[in-house]
Structure 1
Amino acid sequence: MGSPIYIQIHNKIKQEIEANHWAVGDRIPSERDLAVQFGVSRMTLRQAIQTLVEEGILERHIGSGTYVARKKVQEKMSGVTSFTELTEAQGKTPSSKTVSYLVTAPSLSESEHLKLKPGQKVLRMERIRYADEVPICFEVATLPYDLIKDYARKQITNSLYGTLQENGLTIGHAQQTVSSMLASEKIAEYLDLKRGSAILRLRQITRLGDGRPFEYVRTQYAGERFEFYLEK
């Protein structure tokens, strides 16, 4: 099974950026022009661009266009905690709604972050996560398929970390990057927000105890319902 068309376009644009066809801070062509260039619908092109925005590779400037993202100031956050553990620790009941669940070829970014070998497949799942039935975040999680292929879907979607630990695997450290953005129409609908509401975006690469990366997550939190704090 090949990658979806929007992922193929995502990969091509990312390669162009890495080849310095567009430098940091450059405005990329309009969605209309890129759709014509790639021979796809604007909806498909917009999906590719939105994925790059969610990964922090591109950033949108309202009324101006889409630009190659500048590097953000990074702050280390300590500890690795799953959404389920975090929510339960606050006395709330966690739940989730699976939007999509797909075994497919990885995007270029997913392959790089998970250190995948050529030909390896990934599980990419999109979920809305809730606390006491209130939508908190929209999450896109990518996992090496070889790691989780023997687990039932419910074991993965309900509590991935718990499933891994129950099967003898240790959760190691995570690399996390937090930035801010405005809610797109899709995210606003998922999280019951107004379009353009403040969003906290977290990108995380989580490793097992032996150092293997096993999870690449892009999460968008409703800014009015969630906050991060740092321990130093």
Structure 2
Amino acid sequence: MLNPDFVPAKSLYLQIKDKIKEQILSGEWKQGSKIPSERELCKTFGVSRITVRQAIAEAVNEGLLFTVQGKGTFVAGTGKEGQEHKISQELAKITNFERTLSSKGLSASTRIVKYEITSVDLALSRILELDMSSQVLHLDLLGLANNEPYVLYRSSFALDTGIRFLEKAKEKEKAKTGFSTVDLYQYFEDIKPYYVEQTFEALAADDYLAEILAVDVGTPLFLASSIVYDVDSRPIEYKNAYYRGDKYKFHIKRYF
């Protein structure tokens, strides 16, 4: 039976999210505590499991809750406290993956998801300024925090450059360290990044991204698309980074 306190004019899952927020603000649900199961919440609020899941997803996106794979959903708090579990990615400078996570007390690691060599397509030939007869190497790296997927990096390089990055990535993976391609440039004397052009947008996880990042299909993600250039404005790398929306937030300081 539907809870009589709900207002017909407002989406039901948003009202459930508001109820969750009330539980946190009132102290009923303590910061860091595990919230009741979906079944219990369905019974408490008299709504369907789909509605409860939508409400939880909204609360996660708002920073009220956070999820731990295989363990459940927990209270993050409110306001600034509610954002403490999220990684704050600085947009004004290039940041090291492992250092960023360690600043939050998280253990970083990176896994090579896949790599492949293909003929360049028209779009990529223009981005990397390659002839249509060229081959490219695609490299997918999964960044993990405490063994939980946080971000997927999908990079493309001219073949010769890509092979060198792949070899170094294999070494880093074997050493069980956290890294992205940003951290690999330091090993090459003749490949020096000078600047990067980036665009940011929101998107929903498709089947592939959901499986790799261990989230539900449709989960909000941040997509950062980057082209890395050398000092002569020659493109070195094209990369799409898919960040989990419940794990990352982005920060930039701007001046008037």
Query: Secondary structure at the residue paired with 2:217?
Result: coil
Letter in 1 for 2:146: D
Letter in 2 for 1:197: T
**Alpha-carbon shift at residue 191 of structure 1 (Å):** 1.2
Q: 2:230 aligns with which of 194, 201, 208?
A: 208
**Alpha-carbon shift at residue 148 of structure 1 (Å):** 4.0
**Alpha-carbon shift at residue 83 of structure 1 (Å):** 3.2
Structure 2: stretches of 5+ with no match in the other structure: 1-90, 173-178
Worse-matched range after superposition: 178-187 or 162-171:
162-171
Distance in 1 between residues matched to 2:168 and 2:243, nearest whole Å? 23
1:2-52 Cα distance to aligned partner (Å, 9 max, x none): xxxxxxxxxxxxxxxxxxxxxxxxxxxxxxxxxxxxxxxxxxxxxxxxxxx
Distance in 1 between residues matched to 2:194 and 2:231, nearest whole Å? 4
Residues 1:184 and 2:203 aligned together: no
**Alpha-carbon shift at residue 174 of structure 1 (Å):** 0.8
Worse-matched range after superposition: 83-92 or 202-211:
83-92
**Alpha-carbon shift at residue 82 of structure 1 (Å):** 4.6
Structure 1: stretches of 5+ with no match in the other structure: 1-76
Letter in 2 for 1:153: L
> TM-score, normalization: structure 2?
0.54
Stretches of 4+ aligned residues off by more than 4 angstroms = 88-91
Q: 1:131 aligns with which of 122, 142, 145?
A: 145
CA contact (8 A) 2:221 2:244 kept: yes
CA contact (8 A) 1:179 1:202 kept: yes
Change (3 A) 1:89 1:175: farther
CA contact (8 A) 2:120 2:132 kept: no
Distance in 2 between residues matched to 1:139 and 1:162, nearest whole Å? 13
Letter in 2 for 1:228: F
Change (3 A) 1:172 1:80: farther
Distance in 1 between residues matched to 2:253 and 2:229, nearest whole Å? 20
Change (3 A) 1:103 1:89: farther
> TM-score, normalization: structure 1?
0.59
Letter in 2 for 1:78: A
Aligned residues: 156
Q: 1:172 aligns with which of 181, 184, 194?
A: 194
Distance in 1 between residues matched to 2:102 and 2:193, nearest whole Å? 18
Q: Which has the larger radius of gyration?
A: 2
Distance in 2 between residues matched to 1:220 and 1:229, nearest whole Å? 17
Aligned twin of 2:169: 156
Aligned twin of 1:35: none
Query: Secondary structure at the residue paired with 1:79?
Result: coil
Percent sequence identity over matched residues?
21
Aligned twin of 1:32: none
1:131-161 Cα distance to aligned partner (Å, 9 max, x none): 2212111221101112244x37340354534
Q: 1:106 aligns with which of 105, 120, 123?
A: 120
Two-structure CA RMSD over aligned residues (Å)? 2.4
